[in-house]
Structure 1
Amino acid sequence: MKLIVFLSLFLIPWNTVYADEKAVGVEIVLAVDVSSSVSQKEHEAQIEGIAKVFEDPTILKIIDSLPTGKIAVSLLLWAGENQQLIAVPWQEISDQKTAQNFATYVRNNQKKPWTGLLYTALGDALQAAGKSFEQNEFEGDRKVIDISSDDPSNRGAEPAIVREILLSQGITINGLPILADRADQETRRELVDYFRVNVIGGPLSFVNPAVSFEHYAEAFSQKFSIEISGIPWSGNFASYSDADLDPSSLELKVTAQFAKRDN
């Protein structure tokens, strides 16, 4: 009898927490780079681009098509080591009102939270994003980290090592490299390849680059639509050789999606 009572002290709280979790189709952390390489213009482009997507009726239709009709989303701003901020806590998105509320919360972050010399600690950002899943009140069929950056990681934990830990927890990582400040097609492809090799991972993981600040909203919308639905763009992944990453191109394209790795 004493053993049963002892075990119940551990089992009852765990069951209570589990029962209280809210079922959603997918949990998504939007991890946005705000390091020193990110100009104020670039930061505002990211913030406004994200906000606009939540005001798009098409996104609501995708959410409504899920078995739960709901998703959970949070906004994480990150830069160097020990610089990760949950700018918008986890929110349930299920209708126009909740989507508009999230867009408003996002727009409240037009100002970067840190100034001065900041590093790009992409691995630390992934760690913080992964930890946030443990601290929310939702249970999704899928868990996704949607991370943007305009540079490779140059500080802190190694992204590829953190990735493997997160994959073991059932978390998918998708990447949105921002290419606007890169002067030529070669350096743009270098960043895209860095994401493909070192950052993304998990079922149907992909990279979708934003080739300009003005095009960020379109890139994010494409990416977010795939993450919500769990369905690859056009039914399959395009080769990155098909992507137009040339800064001099008159027709900007955001169509590059890559499978996780070649092996």
Structure 2
Amino acid sequence: MHAGRAFKVVASWLAGLILSFCLLLPLPAGRAQDFDVDLALILAVDCSFSVDSQEFRLQMEGLGKAFMRPEVKQAIAQGQRQRIAVAVVQWSDEPNQKAVLPWTIVSGAADADELGQILMSMTRDLAEGGTSISTALTYSAALFAAAPSAERRVIDVSSDGRNNSGLPVKPVRDRLVANGITINGLTILNEWPTLDTYFENNVVGGTGHFVIPANDYEAFGEAIYRKLLREITGPGIS
């Protein structure tokens, strides 16, 4: 076996072993009261091979502009604590997962505008690879250990593909949901027209979970706006 190929096989095996070990560990839970924020939200952004540079830029501009919209700012202000915490993860295959924005408190219009500008100018810091939604979920869930205590913990996964690398995604999804994490999905249907159905069956779960489809990357901005509004407002909004 070629040395480079052998290295990739070993790296993939080790990544799977680490993931399997992580699945046996309990996830941190927020305190029952005296929460610091209304919501701890992880934005998990697909950076796999199927996402080109223009599509990545559309994702980040859509996210940034959504936080700057007055309806999103108002939703944050209407929360009991009037503040949320946001982190951003870029992901592709098993070895390629990176937290590109640490936990950031958004507690007013100025904070939302600043976060919006950061997201709009964010660079792609991750190597392209396959689509390991299972690894993205596990990696993201581990970040809650460093998050402010939150009444709700949500992982927001955007993707244009199905899990094709790493562990099967359903057992990972089920474990995170059992530990009080909600997983929502934004599916971009440019390659898989039924991807929203796949996400419903395999990826999303938890209290008030949902999937919002976008027909293509051009429609991503409006879709992420509607998705953020639902996540910040909480279960029950239609």
TM-score interval w.r.t. the shorter chain? 0.7 to 0.9
The reply on whether 1:114 has 2:118 as its aligned counterpart is no
Runs of 4+ residues over 3 Å off in structure 1 = none
1:49-81 superposed Cα distances (whole Å, 9 cap, x missing partner)? 000011111111001100000011111100011
The reply on whether 1:94 has 2:107 as its aligned counterpart is yes
Query: What pairs with 1:151-162 in structure 2 (closer than 5 Å)?
Result: 151-162=161-172
How far apart in 1 are the matches of 2:57 and 2:181? 28
> Which residue is 1:224 aligned to?
228
Query: RMSD over aligned Cα, in angstroms?
Result: 1.5
Query: What pairs with 1:15-164 in structure 2 (closer than 5 Å)?
Result: 23-115=36-128, 118-136=129-147, 138-164=148-174
Q: Please report how far the alpha carbon of residue 164 of structure 1 lies from its aligned counterpart in structure 2 after TM superposition.
A: 1.2
Unaligned runs of 5+ residues in structure 1 are 1-17, 235-263
> Which residue is 1:208 aligned to?
212
How far apart in 2 are the matches of 1:28 and 1:202? 14
Code of the residue aligned with 1:226 in structure 2: it is R
Identical amino acids, percent of aligned pairs: 34
Tell me which structure has the larger Cα radius of gyration: 1
Q: Please report how far the alpha carbon of residue 99 of structure 1 lies from its aligned counterpart in structure 2 after TM superposition.
A: 1.1
Q: Please report how far the alpha carbon of residue 42 of structure 1 lies from its aligned counterpart in structure 2 after TM superposition.
A: 1.1
Superposition TM-score, scaled by structure 1 size: 0.75
Secondary structure in structure 1 of the residue aligned to 2:186: strand
> Which residue is 2:193 aligned to?
188
Inter-CA distance 112–37: structure 2 relative to 1 (3 Å threshold): farther
How far apart in 1 are the matches of 2:206 and 2:216? 27
Inter-CA distance 203–231: structure 2 relative to 1 (3 Å threshold): closer
**Conserved 8 A contact 1:40-1:112:** no
Superposition TM-score, scaled by structure 2 size: 0.82
How far apart in 1 are the matches of 2:96 and 2:236? 32
Q: Please report how far the alpha carbon of residue 108 of structure 1 lies from its aligned counterpart in structure 2 after TM superposition.
A: 3.3
